[in-house]
A and B are shown apart, each in its own frame.
Chain A
Amino acid sequence: MTDTNISFVRQEMLQGQTPPLGERGIVRWVRINLLATPIDAVLTILALLALAWFLPPLINWLFIQASWVGPDRSVCATVAQGGLQPDGWSGACWAFVNAKFSQFMYGPYPIDQLWRVNLVGIMFVALLVPLLMPKAPYKIPNAIVFFFVFPIIAFFLLVGGWFGLPYVETSVWGGLLVTLVISFVGISVSLPLGIALALGRRSKMPVIKMLCVIFIEMVRGIPLVTVLFMASYMLPLFLPPGVSFDKFLRALIGVALFASAYMAEVVRGGLQAIPKGQYEGADSLGLGYWQKTGLIILPQALKLVIPGIVNTFIGLFKDTSLVSIISMFDLLGTVRQHFNDPNWASPQTPISGLVFAGFIFWIFCFGMSRYSIFMENRLDTGHKR
């Protein structure tokens, strides 16, 4: 008979204990991420000091001191400047953005016709969102509608002059509307055209290869500003009198061709990164050129250059601001144009307007960038070990 009831032997298993304070929760996170080594600690302290130095004034300027509503410049100017604010006041003039918001979005587009722009915007979002979600069904019909049917509907809605809609000429388009139209057309033309140019440049047929090389190198050699200026002021001189086509259309074509040349080089980078074995493998299966390109090469090549493609898209999106040199006003141009309205001129007006424009640009560019990372991760299947 054994007596198991020995006082110094434990009767049951110990309950698992939570780790010590320094090894769990926020303390552990801080220790590992912020204070791991003395250098880390110093850097963390410096970073915190920097934040403490510029965050409070920034928040103060952006939100606390900011003047949100008002009829004119008096709410954004100090007494010495002829306004209502106390001397030494400094805050964002959101009242200016507030009053001009419709202008920044649509430009001088007729106010009673704005529903047309809004309708196009709603259709755009409704078609784009399911296209971007991998799980949404009907990808191919959706893409066909988005890239072929939607632009036609959007054209008739925005320009008008048909079905009883009043004609709205493109010279009264402005603001974010112009930015988005140019970017959408530029992006959706430059990708297919860029792929075609890249394939053409690697073609073994000398004429096609030569034409593609000449086009790409010529367009890449000219600044966009020059292309726009030529299209806008020089082209009419060479056309016979009376023949003229819309300046906005000229700018669209200029931007789209320009972006295509850059896109071609990005795609060519992807094509060149595909090992020779892939081409030979496709050949040995008896695939023709188009089958080989469409089924084997391009899917791999495009996947490789997603960051480059999105980089070009983002660059294009921001380059749309250059159309202001040919007297068309995109978001930034419109914001700038309104700085000099004597009803709103104050020291805070320009900076507030620019912060607002920058924020809008950032939303779009950041969105594109995050979506590209998502796609990269989703498509990152081939080279994992």
Chain B
Amino acid sequence: MNNFATKLTVAVMALVSLSFGASADTLSDVKSKGFLQCGVNTSLGGFASPNDKGEWTGFEVDYCRAVAAAIFGDGSKVKFTPLSSKDRLPALQSGEIDVLFRSATVTLGRDTQGFDFPTVYYYDGQGFMVNRKRLPEVTSAKQLSGATVCLLAGSTTELNAADFFKASGMEYNPVVFDKLEEVKAAYDSGRCDVYTTDQTGLYAARLALSSPADNLVLPEIISKEPIGAAVRQGDPQWADIIRWTHYALLTAEEFGITQANVDELKNGDNPEIKRILGQEANTKLGTDLGLGNDWVVNIIRAVGNYGEVFDKNIGNGSPLKIARGINAPWNKGGLQYAMPIR
């Protein structure tokens, strides 16, 4: 139902925006505004949440800051629009935001609804969590027949769960909620046997359960959840900037360029690093992208490289302690592979 309503809204907006919508040159719009308007989660621990002073922090927030730094040389020239999962695509379509970093799974359906997903910045997969006290015998998702499952409305989670249970020939009772903390509270209070969402979300949720150790994240991953940045279709230059901002973060990690040493390396003598950092003579890599040639330097100065961003917000440097897993660089067994900056 929610999904249908979202699709309908998006379809109407796509039609309307053909004649009225935001202009196609997002970069010059952003430059003339003087700041980037970035859509983020209303609040998802580690990815986007306001701290005690009201400043936005998190993995996706740092991506917004990285894009702002690439454009303006200043990671603070960004404003955040917190969006629920229902409103995120309509807000992008209406021109309310310039780019969306809000746990959006890249799918064909979404890509053809008037959006582009220039890059996948985080690979996730949907999993299940059960309470060991309540369901002691369950060790695999294949044993969940007849279970009551807590879900968040309007997300791919709902569809994946339906597909999984149907394909495995099992019955299940979905209990759908509109707000994340309602889902968590329902699961914690025993309203449902199973909580399903992206595995990252399960680990984050476990932090706030009454007895984290009693809850088991089952080994099955039932879906691919590539989390991507979304932009409006029809502005290839803007999509390029988002894509290469991600590649710049990955490349910096690969070459050991960190927030601490970027200024030192900029003046070093490794030719590859100097090229990445835009120090090569007569380089046009940055200006051809519509940015300054020191765009990578600005990004790394503002937020650090991909590894630093990961570690600080969701990895070992944070309360969530999510393992790098498939988000490790390609040469360390993960999927994060940056195209060369040259």
Partners in one complex: yes
What is the 8 Å Cβ interface bit string for chain A, positions 320-352, against chain B (1 contact, 0 not)? Answer: 000011110100000011111111011101100
- Report if A99 contacts B (CB, 8 A): yes
CA of A336 to CA of B208, assembled, Å: 14
Q: Are A100 and B52 in contact (CB under 8 A)?
A: yes
Name A103's closest neighbour in chain B (CB-CB). B54
Residue among B16, B43, B54, B95 with the highest chain A CB neighbour number at 10 A: B54
Interface presence of A241 (CB below 8 A): yes
Kindly state the interface size class of chain B when it binds its partner: 35 or more
Q: Does A308 contact B (CB under 8 A)?
A: no
Range of interface residues on A (Cβ < 8 Å): 35 or more
Centre residue among B13, B51, B90, B212 by max chain A CB count within 10 A? B51
Whether A340 lies near B45 (C-beta < 8 A) is yes
A346 to B180, CA, bound (A): 14
Decide if B43 touches A342 in the complex (CB within 8 Å).
Answer: no
- Take A337-B42, A350-B181 as given contacts and tell me if A345 and B208 are in contact as well, using a CB distance cutoff of 8 Å: yes
Contact with A along B52-86 (1 / 0, CB 8 A): 11110000000000000000000000010111100
Closest to A349 in B: B208
B318 at the interface (CB under 8 A from A): yes
Q: Does B186 contact A (CB under 8 A)?
A: no
Q: Within 8 Å CB of A327, what residues of B?
A: 42, 81-84, 87, 91
Residue A82 interfacial (CB < 8 Å) = yes
> Which of B19-27, B120-128, B238-246, B264-272 lies at the interface with chain A?
B19-27
CB pair B20 A81 closer than 8 Å = no
Q: Are B55 and A108 in contact (CB under 8 A)?
A: yes
A346 proximity list for chain B (CB < 8 A): 207-208
Residues of chain A touching chain B, judged by Cβ–Cβ distance below 8 Å, are 73, 80-82, 99-100, 102-103, 107-109, 111, 171-172, 174, 233-234, 236-241, 324-327, 329, 336-343, 345-347, 349-350
Using a CB–CB cutoff of 8 Å, the interface residues on chain B facing chain A are 9, 13, 16-17, 20-23, 42-46, 49-55, 79, 81-84, 87, 90-91, 94-96, 179-181, 185, 188, 204, 207-213, 318-320
Question: 22 A–B contact pairs at CB < 8 A?
Answer: A80-B211, A81-B207, A108-B54, A108-B55, A171-B81, A233-B9, A233-B13, A233-B90, A324-B42, A325-B84, A327-B83, A336-B43, A336-B181, A338-B50, A340-B44, A341-B49, A341-B52, A342-B318, A342-B319, A343-B319, A345-B319, A349-B208
Q: A103-B54, A337-B50, A347-B209 are in contact. List 5 more A-B contacts (CB 8 A).
A: A108-B54, A340-B44, A342-B319, A347-B188, A347-B208
